[in-house]
Structure 1
């Protein structure tokens, strides 16, 4: 990214921190979001390995972890851009979980994972970095591992990175709510 893009990225981080401080994202814990989180868990259980270790990119306060039965996972590693959301995630005593603040544009996992979730995060990646982020995640996916992608509404400029010869699509769903414009598309993929 050039200097202007890095500045924009820094400014966006400040905005996310302010929003998490103000409680703007408390709605992620609400009933409307439940269907999305439950679908991610369902796809993990259907296509992932037994007792997976999970990397949640865009974890926020760790809401996704609350939907898993921690007895059925080995570990949960959450990463988010907002330091405020990570502080909130770390305030709770969560068994088997680690949460860190990092920028997805240059984040490199320290280990390999059975499940990598791009949790409402992929469309925030700068266009010039999307391919590099996918390459990094693919390098840190265990054999037979899966990548789950959750995108609000259409996710223009995102799906073509997964709907190609590099990945096999295992599952793809549109998760709707009773509000016409509130829906998510969620895909499960493995490397070819």
Structure 2
């Protein structure tokens, strides 16, 4: 996705209202509130590989003001700066170079670690741990299960998907432990799976031009968006931790 300005444009225009982003941002906020309670003003939060800054804007609207972010894409940085956010250039492969010596209460990295090799993921997680304040929290969201790969993955440059067991190994190697995890959206798994399998069938049979694919980031209209948002919200209430879904959401702490 890096270098694909059109995808960042889509993200910038839709992430504050699209059901999927709203559900993810709600999960992040929920885990922060569960961990830290009502403490807000003093929390120092880093969004690593923050994209166009939708999550940081959401947190700011929920009274978190000590917010920092970095991204490798100049397009993402530009869109984040348009939101008035403190976002600069940075690389997940060299987290230590970002604001050297600064530490954070919360470090978030959503849907970005798939760009890295296994060894680079371990190094990034280890760097997050080293930049964490006492009682700090790491929050990760990542693409899950290869069965869900499709045109979206090709459009955003995702070469693979993950399972919880892999991140259990990564976190252990980095000196971390996973204290909460869930796959999501569980209730929408079947329709998402069917769509992605149809996409892969069309790709295999050369029914689509793989060089001109778009991601799934697009606003489906108010009615559909409201229904999908309600489904994911209900799921979060009913299932503390779901066993299947196209994304894997985790929180980590030093072991």
Structure 2 length normalisation: TM-score? 0.60
3-state secondary structure, aligned to 1:138: helix
Q: Which has the higher contact order (CA 8 A, sep 6+)?
A: 2
- The 2-side partners of 1:26 and 1:53 are apart by 27
1:41·1:68 contact (CA, 8 Å) conserved in 2? yes
Query: RMSD value over aligned CA atoms?
Result: 2.6
Following superposition, the deviation at residue 119 of structure 1 comes to 1.1
174, 185, 190: which one aligns with 2:248: 185
Structure showing greater radius of gyration is: 2
Which runs of 5 or more structure 1 residues have no equivalent in the other structure? 1-11
Deviations 1:8-47 (A, max 9, x none): xxxx633x445325x3664433123211111011111112
Structure number having the greater strand percentage: 1
3-state secondary structure, aligned to 2:128: helix
57, 73, 77: which one aligns with 1:86: 77
2:53·2:83 contact (CA, 8 Å) conserved in 1? no
- The 2-side partners of 1:75 and 1:13 are apart by 27
- The 1-side partners of 2:142 and 2:51 are apart by 15
Structure number having the greater helix percentage: 2
Pairing of 1:29-108 with structure 2 (within 5 A): 29=16, 30-48=18-36, 50-51=39-40, 52-70=43-61, 72-93=63-84, 97-108=85-96
- The 1-side partners of 2:179 and 2:29 are apart by 15
Q: 1:85 to 1:153 in 2, by over 3 A?
A: same
Bigger CA drift: 146-155 or 64-73? 64-73
Counterpart check, 1:156 vs 2:219: no
Q: Hey, what does 2:116 align to over in structure 1?
A: 125
Which runs of 5 or more structure 2 residues have no equivalent in the other structure? 146-160, 193-244
